[in-house]
Amino acid sequence: MQHDPFEGTRVLRRLYDEIEELVIRDGVGTLREVSQTFATLQAYRLKLNAPFIETNDQSIQVMTAHKSKGLEFATVFIPHVADSAWSGAGKKTYFDIPLQTHTEVEKSEFIEDERRLLYVAMTRAKRSLFLSLSQTNADGKELIEARLLDDIAQEYIAVVDTQNENETFDPLQSLARESKTVAVGPTLLTHLLAERGFSATSLNNYLRSPWDYFYRNVLRIPETQAVHMQFGTAVHNTLEYATAFHTKNSTLPEVTQIKQKFEAELRRLPIGVEEYTRLHEKGFAALLTYVEHLQKELPAETKEELKLRVHLETGISELPEVILTGKLDRIDIADGKAFRVVDYKTGKPKSRNVIEGNTKSSDGGYKRQLVFYALLLTLHDDERYRCQTGVLSFVEPDTKGAIKEESFIVTDQEIEDLKKEIISSVRSIINGTFLSEPCDQAVSEYCQFVQQLKR
């Protein structure tokens, strides 16, 4: 709140909405219960249900008439202006007060309350006001307009019949028309890149195919997370728990503790019983082997899930610096200083040639990720974590039952080359040059969307 009051207000509003939902949905009634609920969410790293309110000049704000008091908007839409909603007939009575004066309250007073409320909602509009209602409700019952509208002089009302629009409306054609009006160009790309920057994943997406970056990291097309990625998350979280436990207690957790942690992570996944059983068997067997490996290789001190956010100067006037972000699985520490970064990988162990991009089917994304992490630590302001040794540690054993790790010493030249590659990518993105490039179907799965975009 001190550094950014506007941003702080958005956060507080989200917390308020979350608490309101807890009260209404779960019957939470004390601050202690609220505190316990938030503590549980934090412990299991669960997100709040309440949405984070986006605010910009193009946003549409949705609120109740009550919450609109004191606010003004150029255009206001008031839907559901049916008599059943604005006559006071549907007003809920949660309890009755056994007083004589209460029994004499007439329905007309309820209507007057609704009249005042509708007046408040209508007078929020500075330029245009739209009131609407449907002919029938969800059950097919006919609806009539609110009687309160009769009090408005007809000269101020323009009645519009939407029957023709209802009959000719085609959602797909409408979306196509809308897509042509969206200004997808350098301005949008520059704004979003300045706001989000690059992670190792988004950079790899761009270098593999600019269209992968565009749809995954710019437009953020919703995607269902693949089962193998969910499995990887469960394994990562279990290993984070195990290594942090080791740093604190100088010993790894017991097998039963690791099993309990892994099962807890699996239960959080949206998977069925059969999938749970398969992943449990596969994952627990891999973890048992990997824990034996940790017994031999794990140093006394480690740092888990280090989140980094740094700035790289670009020398580009439109975007003088770009944000780089990353979350490192594990940093191994000796004598108070990091000596290697370990990145866990689930799935079949990869050869060194595949990691470095020296085969036809690989693009060097694995090695680039390690160089990216070295760059992050070089730009990070904490010298304790300056480290240019990266290790890809494959959690699942190879065909011989051994744990495979590939270690790389990232050179200064590799870091400089990656800087140039990032800056070149930034320049290409903010110029929007890739928007005119074709989409390679052999590389990107979004080519069908590109065809729609270019129509």
Strands 404-409 and 389-394: antiparallel
pLDDT at 120: 92
Rounded-to-integer distance, Cα 58 and Cα 135, Å: 30
pLDDT at 53: 67
Question: Is residue 390 one of the residues assigned to a domain?
Answer: yes
Q: In b/e form, how buried is each residue of 381-408, taking b as 16+ CB within 10 angstroms?
A: eeeebebbbbbbbbbbbeeeeebbebeb
The first and second tokens of residue 376, run together, are 């992050």
Strands 319-334 and 198-199: parallel
Q: 3-class SS at 337? A: strand
Question: Is residue 187 one of the residues assigned to a domain?
Answer: no
Range of the domain at 318: 201-436
Whether the Cβ atoms of residue 269 and residue 302 lie closer than 8 Å to each other? no
Does 214 score more than 50 pLDDT? yes
Question: Is residue 443 one of the residues assigned to a domain?
Answer: no
Question: Is residue 50 one of the residues assigned to a domain?
Answer: yes
Q: Are residues 67 and 55 in the same domain?
A: no
Q: Are residues 24 and 102 in the same domain?
A: no
Question: Is residue 175 one of the residues assigned to a domain?
Answer: no
Instruction: CATH number of the domain at 141, please.
Output: 3.40.50.300
Question: Is residue 193 one of the residues assigned to a domain?
Answer: no
Q: Which is more confident, 270 or 349?
A: 349
Q: Are residues 302 and 409 in the same domain?
A: yes
Look at the block and give the residue holding tokens 């004589």: 100
Q: Are residues 130 and 216 in the same domain?
A: no
Question: Is residue 190 one of the residues assigned to a domain?
Answer: no
Q: Are residues 161 and 263 in the same domain?
A: no
Q: Are residues 107 and 81 in the same domain?
A: yes
Q: Are residues 4 and 76 in the same domain?
A: no
pLDDT at 181: 47
Q: Are residues 37 and 71 in the same domain?
A: no
* Domain limit, last residue, from 125, 153, 169: 169
Kindly state the percentage of the chain with pLDDT values over 70: 88
The first and second tokens of residue 337, run together, are 């200083």
* Domain limit, last residue, from 169, 190, 210: 169
Does 298 score more than 90 pLDDT? yes
What mean pLDDT comes out for the span 142-161?
86
pLDDT at 78: 94
What mean pLDDT comes out for the span 127-140?
85
Confidence band of 437 (pLDDT split at 50, 70, 90):
confident
* Domain limit, last residue, from 15, 32, 59: 59
Question: Is residue 191 one of the residues assigned to a domain?
Answer: no
The burial class, CB within 10 Å (0-12 / 13-18 / 19+), for 143 is middle
Confidence band of 7 (pLDDT split at 50, 70, 90):
confident
Q: Which is more confident, 212 or 453?
A: 212
Q: Which range (19-33, 50-64, 88-102, 227-241) has the least confidence?
A: 88-102
pLDDT at 210: 92
Instruction: CATH number of the domain at 358, please.
Output: 3.90.320
Beta bridge partners of 393: 344, 405
Backbone angles phi, psi at 31, to 5 degrees: -65, -35
Please give the mean pLDDT across all residues of the chain. 86
Q: Are residues 89 and 47 in the same domain?
A: no
Q: Are residues 215 and 358 in the same domain?
A: yes
What mean pLDDT comes out for the span 382-393?
92
Give how many domains the chain has, as a whole number: 3
Residue 226's closest CA among 178, 270, 183?
270
Q: Are residues 35 and 80 in the same domain?
A: no
Q: Are residues 341 and 423 in the same domain?
A: yes
Per-residue pLDDT reduced to its tens digit, 32-84: 999 999 999 899 888 888 777 666 666 788 888 888 888 888 899 999 999 88
